[in-house]
Amino acid sequence: MGIRTSKKTMVAFLATMAVTAGTLAGCGGSGSASKASGGGDNVITVFDSEPQNPLIPGNTNETGGSRPGSQIFAELVSFDSNGKAQNEVAQSITPNSDSTQYSIKLKPGWKFSDGTPVTAQSFTRAWSYVANVKNVQKCASFFSTIKGYDDLQQKGLNGTEQLSGLKVLDDTTFTVDMSKPDSIFPVKVGYMAFAPLPDSFYKDPKAFGDKPVGNGPYKLAEWSHGQEIRLVRNGYYHGNVKPRNQGITFRIYTKVDAAYADVQGGNLDVMDTVPPADTKSFMSDPTVVAYNKPGSIIQMFSIPSNLEHFKSGTEEGTLRRQAVSMSIDRKSIVTKVLNGTGTQPVDFTSPKTPGFSENLKGKENLVYNPSKAKELWEKADAISKDVDPFAISYNADGGNKPIYDAIVNSIKNTLGIKVSADPVPTFQEFRNLVDKRQIKGGFRSGWTPDYPSAEDYLFQCYDSEAGHGNGANDGDYSNSRFDELMTQAYAAPSTDAANVIYGQAQEILLNDLPAIPLYYDNAHGVAMKGVKGFQMDWQNQSVYSELHK
Amino acid sequence: MGKYLLRRILQMIPVVLGTTLLVYALVFALPGDPVKAMFGDKPINQAVAAQIRAEYNLDKPFIIQYLLFLKNALTLNFGNTFAGQPVIDEIARAFPVTIKLGLMAFVFEALFGVVFGIISGLKKGKWYDAVILIVSLLLISVPTFVTGFLMQYFIGVKWHLLPVTAGNDPGFLDLLMPAMVLGSVSMAYIIRLSRSEISSNISEDYVRTARAKGMTNRSVIVRHVLRNSMIPVITYLGQDLGALMGGAMISETIFNIHGIGFLTYQSILKGESNMVVSIVTLLTLIFVVCNLVVDMLYAVLDPRIRYA
């Protein structure tokens, strides 16, 4: 009898369970059905992370904010997918003979998405706002070559002071006086921090950051923090971009892995990145459309210029730097560790940089050549011996371990010396050590350009003016001939002329190797099956306007 | 009883103060400079950086920072995030999602854990007891992120049974899979706990006496065995409710749920001490309250336990 009743009990339990599960499932049915379709006919859903700053152009310096921001704002020039600058709001940008003054004429008829006109003042006031230290804008430094910048870095400003180098002539014309020659200025003005701002911005910058009004191909419809940023077409826009969809919805993700699963499962249209775990398989994944081409980011490791036995400018140092560079088997790293999501480098910029050349003198120093490497190292040993074991530091939170293990092994096996990889737990901690110059050895470095110009790579990372904490020259490299070429390039009559000089400057770097280029990060991403027009621009971002279904 | 309750509530004050101080110190001690990190590897405008530091009190010594935080917190002003959003708004946005997820996981683990535990405990040695035991062992030994990714791939991506990720404003179905993943390990523990409690209680003297007095099997099981077996299970569940709220990070990141776990993780990475401490304070309160409720429940389950 005992057995019979307890069997009944068990059946009852199971029945309760089934009923509860059923009811629970029933009551929540409405939640997701509407979402799976994404957002209607020709609206594209794309991956993003939560912007780390309010959506103000001058305060946006990371991809979470620049993905939607770049669609909301249009600048004087826009860049095509190869990084070539084309006039957008500007009719013409005319330099004087030594690039110290620019006269800028705007095309008539441009309007912000709220219907107010884009005038010369929309630019000058916005630029002064960003440059003015009182307004705490993270991109302030981009305006440092404009006259009057230093005056806006003082204490006791009220935030409304204007850059003295900007002069408005009429509604569609203004001039820019530079404090020193800057031939790259016509390219720089395509960077988002140079976007015009409507008058409504100055009334309440805080509210604007939550609901920005711009002059770009799209306008903000709704920003639900931590969830999505919904953009729709801006009817007032008539620039270079011809959107092929009705809108873009940026979905905020906690992690790229979740987004990848959503593309596979048909819930997300496009993402312009691939989780490390999937780099091996995404090219052959039948559930997605893959994109993988050389991009604009270069990965390197720097060797401090004052590192014992590696001092730059000395014969021994140069020999050792070249030996280390030639002992790295970049080809196997790119194919085996990166699974083809990187490309072997031939310079210090990127294949997406205007003026890029595959034939610079000294590019053979970036090619794996074990016998030559050994020979150079021995030559250096003949000058001075007792080299300390060489260590390379990197931040361990970015998936860099396999790459650096491979580099270290490659150097070790080729040169037969003691080399170690020295991981630092987080990027923050790593940057702190780099800033304090506390790393005694090589350290990971990389560069993501802000605008497509060799200047952005070369001046920021290797000019002596950018060293010692004043820029990104973290190895404190200093070469007077290189600095001279940088100055010459700034004074060049055109960006094309400047690019020729940047080529010469790079040949110096290829010999001195202040940093050892490792690979160009490929622009890689995936789209859902059935999404058309998926390609990526010079910034390794998806060309959102081309996407359609 | 009332006096006991009051004492317990007063005890919360030092607990909360102690945790906030400790957590604030831990975030402060994190290596790296959050302001520098905001600029990435781009050149830093030092004047701008200095202003940001002043705005967030980062230029002041630790103890002043902490006291300023406390002072503002007393007026329910928890400060702003580095992105300029009020901390309280971010928490208010993330918390309901986590509560929903946590409660679903809680119901899942309590319901299935107890039910399977009882079946197993009453039917020791049967084949389904063996199956339940093996499955629970598997769930305990496999890390949740493995269970999570496997379920996401098969149930979501391959078979399209449930949404792949939860996304914005998640409904019941969106959260079902994450809740199962979140609750799975605890469910397995509860199965094992209730199984062993029941099987040991069932051979106790008082059960034999009850049966000898002629009580039906049903009332013996329900009124004597289960009631006694549930005390440790409820203790565990009470502790776990707090843990579910704070420990949802793994399932939140796998399934793209913008909840408290993920918010905490990100804030730690960014060095946002205000955010981290505010969340931890909240979690501490939840934890303390859950424990209090559990202690009160003891009295209901076991008449011998009385609080004076």
pLDDT over 80 (residue A314): yes
Of A31-35, A419-423, B154-158, B214-218, which range is least confident? A31-35
For A502-512, write each residue's pLDDT tens digit: 999 999 999 99
Counted across chains A and B, CB pairs separated by less than 8 A come out at: 196
Give the CA-trace dihedral at A448, A451, A457, A459, to 10 degrees: -140
Residues on chain A touching B164 (C-beta within 8 angstroms): 258, 261-262, 264-265, 267
Residue B132: predicted pLDDT: 92
Q: How many domains in chain A?
A: 1
For A186-227, write each residue's pLDDT tens digit: 999 999 999 999 999 999 998 999 999 999 999 999 998 888
pLDDT over 60 (residue A13): no
pLDDT over 70 (residue B278): yes
Residue A379 CA to residue A398 CA, distance in Å, equals 36
Residue B99 CA to residue B128 CA, distance in Å, equals 33
pLDDT over 50 (residue A16): no
Report the residue of chain B nearest A473, measured CA to CA: B43
- Residue range A378-404: mean pLDDT, rounded: 89
Q: Give me the phi and psi of B61, to 5 degrees please.
A: -65, 160
Residue B291: predicted pLDDT: 80
Best of A20, A61, A254, A301 to disrupt the B interface (most B CBs within 10 Å) is: A254
Residue A4: predicted pLDDT: 41
Residue A268 lies in a domain: no
Res. B1 pLDDT band, cuts 50 70 90: low
Q: Give me the phi and psi of B164, to 5 degrees please.
A: -65, -45
Beta carbons of A302 and A474 less than 8 angstroms apart? yes
Residue A458: predicted pLDDT: 95
DSSP state of A39: S
CATH number, domain of A471, equals 3.10.105.10
Residue A512 lies in a domain: yes
Q: Chain-wide mean pLDDT for chain A?
A: 88
For A426-438, write each residue's pLDDT tens digit: 887 888 888 889 9
Of A47-61, A363-377, B68-82, which range is least confident? B68-82
For A464-489, write each residue's pLDDT tens digit: 988 887 788 999 999 999 999 999 99
Residue A358 lies in a domain: yes
Whether the CA torsion A341, B250, A423, A447 is positive or negative: it is positive
Residue A15 lies in a domain: no
Residue B87 CA to residue B273 CA, distance in Å, equals 11
How many residues comprise chain B? 308
Task: Tabulate helix, strand, coil % of chain A (nearest 5).
Answer: 40, 20, 40
Residue B137: predicted pLDDT: 93
pLDDT over 80 (residue B112): yes
Residue A8: predicted pLDDT: 42
Of A291-300, B251-260, B264-273, which range is least confident? B264-273
Question: Which range scores top for mean pLDDT: A85-89, B218-222, B271-275?
Answer: A85-89
Instruction: Enumerate domains of chain B plus CATH numbers.
Output: 2-73 (no CATH), 89-301 (1.10.3720.10)
Residue A395 lies in a domain: yes
Residue A155 lies in a domain: no
Per-residue CA distances from A336 to A283, A285, A330, A421, A462 (Å): 14, 18, 10, 19, 30
Which distant-in-sequence residues (6+ apart) come within 8 Å of B21 by Cβ? B66
Q: pTM here?
A: 0.84
Q: Which of residues 392-431 of A touch B (CB under 8 A)?
A: 425-431
Q: Which of residues 443-462 of A touch B (CB under 8 A)?
A: 445-447, 450, 460
Q: Do B31 and A428 touch (CB under 8 A)?
A: yes
β-pairing, A101-106 with A173-177?
Answer: antiparallel
pLDDT over 60 (residue A24): no
Of A16-30, A213-227, A306-320, A373-387, which range is least confident? A16-30
Res. A91 pLDDT band, cuts 50 70 90: very high
Of A258-272, A344-358, B37-51, which range is least confident? B37-51
Residue A465 belongs to domain spanning: 295-523
Q: How far is A23 from chain B (nearest CA, A)?
A: 11
Residue A255 lies in a domain: no
DSSP state of B164: S
Residues on chain B touching A6 (C-beta within 8 angstroms): 122-123, 217, 221
pLDDT over 60 (residue A411): yes
Which of B32, B173, B258 comes nearest A429 by C-beta?
B32
Residue A236 lies in a domain: no
Res. B247 pLDDT band, cuts 50 70 90: low
Beta carbons of A474 and A433 less than 8 angstroms apart? no
